[in-house]
Structure 1
Amino acid sequence: MAALVEIEHLAKSYRRGSQVVPVLTDITLSIQTGDFTALMGPSGSGKSTLLNLIAGIDKPDRGGLRVAGQDITTLGEAGLAAWRAAHVGFIFQFYNLMPVLSALENVELPLLLTNLTRRERRERAALTLHMVGLGERLDHRPGELSGGQQQRVAIARAVVTDPTLIAADEPTGDLDRASASEILDLMQRLNRELGKTIIMVTHDAQAAACARTVIHLEKGELHMPR
């Protein structure tokens, strides 16, 4: 199967005052289409930075980075924003839902950038919420939902545009074990049944065990997957 993500000698550092702090030093990696990959490592190892680079949230200092055949290092800010909207669905640790909007309205948000009519947007958002098991919660706001239910809304929002890649940053980090297990089961189903390519940052070995491939980072360097 073809590689969806192709990374060659990628490096990234950040400036803190007058000091330059290297985060990723020389990453070469490929992730196959349809894979479910977990990025593991201690705090500060660079795993979230690597995810953000792959998802086009940040730019590397140097190196090659192609996702779905697109060299995203050549894109400007506007081009990256358009590329992300078309190709990447995000799942965050703390859900990042709009508290004043219903579940349906939160899931509909990414579709506002498409050419769909209002009716089409609402129908697709509702169908996606049904798919993640929240068909009876369409009109509930985030404050009326449990943490696990809020993360299901966030997952529905991530997949409603049918993205090429799902980028998940500690998606179970704010959940109890039972809710985390349900979310991981759902992500496995998205991968297995819909063929979604998922890259998940996690520090949890039990969460990583749900992935097909586990990649370890330590001090900005890559350790080969199991």
Structure 2
Amino acid sequence: MAETTPPIVAVRNLSKSYRRGQQIVPVLQDISFDIAPGEFLALMGPSGSGKSTLLNLIAGIDKADSGTITIGGVEISTLPEAELAAWRAGNVGFIFQFYNLIPVLTAFENVELPLLLTGLTRRERREHVETVLSLVGLADRIDHYPSQLSGGQQQRVAIARAMVTDPEILVADEPTGDLDRVSAGEILALMERLVSGFGKTIIMVTHDPRAAEQAHRLLHLEKGELTDGAG
């Protein structure tokens, strides 16, 4: 009997609520699912359905009220804050809708930022940055500032920054939401290449059905519950 590969992400009975004044507002209710290594997963659902909250919990940015999240064999839901921050820095890359680049830094300097927390030498950092900027097709834009780049190019810089620490998992919150159709298609093709060519696991929140079609699997959230595609 063939061995099954364990999931890289295992979410079990996850619940999360927020306090709004005197009211407790449930956001996620008893969510359970797995993500396989090297999977490109899309999360869809209406605004307020809990997509970004779920993404933040998986990324270790937020803490659940109950349930567990195990990533690469590490149950991150129980890690103390300092350990969680160290884990997050080495294991998760973030891609945002509006890029989150620092305007006064060049493409090189933006991508280098996560490496400043490591023990790498300046030469090693340069090699890493040049490698990932070349990977995303921006070797010739290394000294450009965000204002000198198109939206699609800025998102490529953001993807390079997410990749520079070589994390296993990339989390992407509406990565094509601010792009025209052509640029969005190029970004999605790049993300697929990170999965197929480099073995990355990508979890992407999107409102765009065309973006979701590029994913291997779709999970749909409705009022904090998975309505289909779970498992």
Q: Please name the residue that 1:177 is paired with.
A: 181
Distance 2:193 2:6 in 1: 21
Q: Please name the residue that 2:159 is paired with.
A: 155
Q: Please name the residue that 2:53 is paired with.
A: 49
TM-fit CA distance, 1:225: 1.4
The amino acid that maps onto 1:224 is: D
TM-fit CA distance, 1:224: 2.6
| Residue correspondence of structure 1 range 183-202 to structure 2 within 5 A | 183-202=187-206
TM-fit CA distance, 1:223: 2.1
Distance 1:45 1:91 in 2: 20
Distance 1:17 1:92 in 2: 29
- Correspondence for 1:109 among 113, 117, 125: 113
Structure 1, residues 174-215: CA drift from partner, whole Å, max 9, x if none?
A: 111111000000000001100100000001100000000111
Distance 1:67 1:223 in 2: 23
| Unmatched runs of 5 consecutive residues or more in structure 1 | none
Q: Please name the residue that 2:40 is paired with.
A: 36
- Correspondence for 1:215 among 209, 212, 219: 219
Distance 1:29 1:10 in 2: 10
- Correspondence for 2:92 among 88, 110, 131: 88
* 1:143 equivalenced with 2:147 (yes/no): yes
RMSD across aligned positions (CA): 0.9
- Count residues in correspondence: 226
Q: Please name the residue that 1:26 is paired with.
A: 30
Distance 1:124 1:65 in 2: 30
| Unmatched runs of 5 consecutive residues or more in structure 2 | none
TM-fit CA distance, 1:165: 0.4
The amino acid that maps onto 1:219 is: K
Structure 1, residues 28-59: CA drift from partner, whole Å, max 9, x if none?
A: 11111110000010100101100100000000
TM-score normalised to the size of structure 1?
0.98
The amino acid that maps onto 2:7 is: A
Distance 1:30 1:124 in 2: 31
Distance 1:149 1:48 in 2: 24
TM-score normalised to the size of structure 2?
0.96
